[in-house]
């Protein structure tokens, strides 16, 4: 049985990290590299780093900076932002990235998922689905949550799996940064529709929210940003809470 992962998310905007509510990322958190070094010490399972301006600016990934980050990151690193063709992936992997996360290019160039999976393996490509509720279901958005793609999340999750995605990063835009908890109905619906791991994202406010996402909704991993940036809660504490709920984690930390 796979062990549950706890994954901090870092949103990179120009010169540093930011975080807000509902994808309105206005609050500055600090520089990227010190944050990576802190998480190295905390022995988190993975890190997700997303350049939230690359797609809006139609720019390539900042390879020089990513190379600097990769040199100092000793845990698996997933990078997203500005990835539009297969050759970029090779450069990112050489810079120290372990996986690439695709969002906007999923809709604009869906064959890219298959290309990456064939060249580098399905484990290398993460399908990032940013969604809002609509009626009794959910619709997918691209371009940092600004463009309604018209895609139903359940149908699209199945399609990206068929195209070769190794896992899904599932983010509720409405819950993002609210501390109100993950959208458990959304997570459960997508988990039930696919056979690949689903990372729950958007809304974590306490450890119990993470337990619920895994125990009740079936998530394989939990991603979070605000609670690690703006509260005293830690990835170690999250792992301890999951372990106490009889959920397997990669390492169960004891409180200091």
Phi-psi label, residue 135: left if phi above 0, alpha if psi -120 to 50, beta otherwise: left
pLDDT at 144: 85
pLDDT band at 253 (very low <50, low <70, confident <90, very high): very low
CA 113 to chain centre: 16
Pairing relationship of beta strands 167-172 and 125-134 according to DSSP bridges: parallel
**Architecture of the domain made up of 5-99+172-244:** Alpha-Beta Barrel (3.20)
255: confidence class by pLDDT, cuts 50, 70, 90 = very low
Task: Give the integer Cα–Cα distance in Å for 200 and 255.
Answer: 24
Structure confidence at residue 1 (pLDDT): 65
pTM: 0.94
Output the CA torsion sign for 149, 160, 53, 235: positive
Per-residue pLDDT, 203: 95
pLDDT (tens digit per residue) in 106-135: 999 999 999 999 999 999 999 999 999 999
Q: What are 201's strand-pairing partners?
A: 171
Average pLDDT over residues 234-249: 95
Sequence-separated (6 or more) residues with CB below 8 Å from residue 88: 60, 61, 82
pLDDT digits (tens, 9 = 90+) for 20-35: 787 776 677 788 999 9
Q: What DSSP line would sit under 89-133, residue for residue?
A: HHHHHHTT--EEEESHHHHH-THHHHHHHHHH-GGGEEEEEEEEE
Question: Per-residue pLDDT tens for 196-233?
Answer: 999 999 999 999 999 999 999 999 999 999 999 888 89
Give the mean model confidence (pLDDT) for residues 77-103: 96
What are the structural domain ranges in the chain?
5-99+172-244
Please identify which residue in the block is written with the tokens 């802190």. Answer: 38
The mean of the pLDDT values for the chain is: 92
pLDDT more than 70, % of the chain = 96
Average pLDDT estimate for 129-145? 94
The DSSP call for residue 174 is T
In the prediction, which pLDDT does 252 show? 45
CA neighbours within 13 Å on the CB side: how many for 124? Answer: 18
Q: What would the mean pLDDT of 130-157 be, rounded to a whole number? A: 94
Q: Does 14 or 47 have the greater pLDDT score?
A: 47
pLDDT at 250 over 90: no
Contact 48, 11 (CB under 8 A): no
Which of 20-34, 42-56, 86-100, 150-164 comes out lowest in average pLDDT? 20-34
- What pLDDT does residue 25 have? 62
């Amino acid at each position: 049985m796979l062990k549950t992962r706890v994954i901090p998310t870092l949103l990179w905007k120009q010169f540093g990290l930011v975080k807000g509510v509902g994808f309105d990322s206005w609050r500055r958190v600090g520089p990227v590299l010190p944050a990576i070094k802190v998480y190295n010490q905390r022995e988190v399972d993975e890190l997700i780093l997303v350049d939230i301006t690359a797609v809006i600016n139609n720019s390539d990934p900042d390879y020089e900076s990513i190379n600097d980050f990769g040199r100092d990151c000793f845990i698996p690193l997933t990078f997203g932002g500005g990835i539009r063709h297969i050759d970029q992936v090779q450069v990112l992997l050489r810079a120290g990235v372990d996986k690439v996360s695709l969002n906007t290019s999923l809709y604009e160039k869906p064959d890219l998922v298959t290309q990456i999976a064939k060249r580098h393996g399905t484990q290398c490509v993460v399908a990032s689905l940013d969604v809002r509720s609509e009626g009794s279901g959910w619709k997918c958005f691209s371009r940092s949550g600004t463009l309604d793609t018209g895609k139903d999340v359940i149908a699209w999750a199945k399609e990206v799996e068929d195209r070769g995605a190794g896992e899904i990063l599932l983010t509720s835009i409405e819950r993002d940064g609210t501390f109100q908890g993950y959208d458990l109905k959304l997570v459960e619906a997508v988990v039930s529709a696919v056979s690949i791991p689903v990372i729950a994202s958007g809304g974590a406010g306490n450890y119990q929210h993470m337990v619920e996402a895994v125990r009740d909704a079936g998530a394989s991993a939990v991603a979070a940003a605000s609670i690690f940036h703006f509260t005293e809660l830690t990835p170690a504490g999250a792992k301890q809470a999951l372990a106490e709920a009889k959920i397997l984690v990669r390492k169960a930390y004891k409180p200091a």
